[in-house]
Structure 1
Amino acid sequence: MTELQILSLCIYLGILGFIVSKTDFKQLLKDRPFQHKLFGAITCVFVLWLFRVSIYDGLVMHFLWLTALTLVLGLRWSVIAASVVLLGSTIIGQDTWSMFGVNGLLGLLLPIGVTYLIYMISFHRISRHMFVYIFLCAFFPGAISMALKMLSMSGYFYLDGFYAWNVIEYNYAQMTLLMVFPEAFFNGMTITCLIVYKPDLVYTFEDKFYIDGK
């Protein structure tokens, strides 16, 4: 492992450990509907991550679905769920162990953190409305998360000397534009369908804030 990979692993595990220490696991043991929601979300994201493309080793592109995951589970449980998915993906050989920390830091924590930050700003600073929630908390963060993930990974591969910048640019970084809109649409439609048909499944959405009296 390179120095950057070791540093990324330490930061990722440190943040993950802190989040786990602040999470109430009694809810998981006692709340059967929550168990179904959590394990169902983990399964869906894991299956989605199996569909990926790459031209060069490491320069992997796949949909994240982490914005929807964050809105459905909340910050702490989404980090834990995504980490389980990453662990499973690494165990079956879809990702390498040497990249575990980098994938966790840039591929999980960064998209989830950005999504939740945008949600919090929207909730506290902008008029609460269902369409504001759908577009500003689901579509927009989905696009931003994908862009940040791919661009930050591009920077990592360049700084760690895996590939020359022209290889990264033409075979990975430029693909960001092709991935941003589908990711935004995928997350936006997921959340739209859930808040219409199963709003009780979305942790960050409540009728009293976004619908009642509007």
Structure 2
Amino acid sequence: MFEKNKARYGHRRVHRDLVTAGWRVAKKTVLALMRRLGLVCLVRRRRRYNSFKGQVGKTAQNLLARNFTATAPNRKWVTDVTEFGIAGRKLYLSPVMDLFDRQIVAYSVSDSPNLQLTNSSLQQALTTQRPGHGLLVHSDQGFQYQHNSWQALLTAAGATQSMSRKANCYDNAIIENFFGHLKEELFHHTTFTSADAFTTALADYINWYNNHRTSTTLKGLSPVQYRTQTLTA
């Protein structure tokens, strides 16, 4: 189970998946056996990209107010930008996450943290998910989200904009947590020789994250499993 999930699971997740599979085993036993076998989960190192450049456009109130739960899909989305150093160059990731099941519903990658990066991920999410009116989209106060092009996309979709307070990453903690897992479980312990190699691995990771990575918040299910089970119940 540890190897199947590419050394990204600690003893708690391994234990939960064993129990789900029908095993009767104590969490401390799993921890002891993993230590004996040298199965060490990857360790997180945090480094946050900051897109705030002052007030360059229109900002919005923090309507999300750290209420990171949603009762149905496409009610609350969160987004942000993070940076990677790949083979001597910078790459930037802009994902859109649905807080209903913590699924990454769209993302874009670029060598520049420009308007096209963020607008394309939002447009992709709007096109594939087709949310109705009443959607709340939350971000930080990065210059991309203050721009009228981003706000025009939201207005056309009937969505409401929400922004974190200035320099307060906890107001967007769930997407920050995703970035932490992504860098812990994929980026910091792999050497990528090209941008193409990284984007291929990133696509594989997001597919695994959405379809297979289990979470206690989602009752031990992956985002896709949680959405499917909840909507068919």
Kindly indicate whether structure 1 or structure 2 has the higher relative contact order, using CA contacts under 8 Å at least 6 residues apart: 1
* TM-score of the aligned structures, taking structure 1 as reference length: 0.30
Could you say which structure has the larger radius of gyration?
2
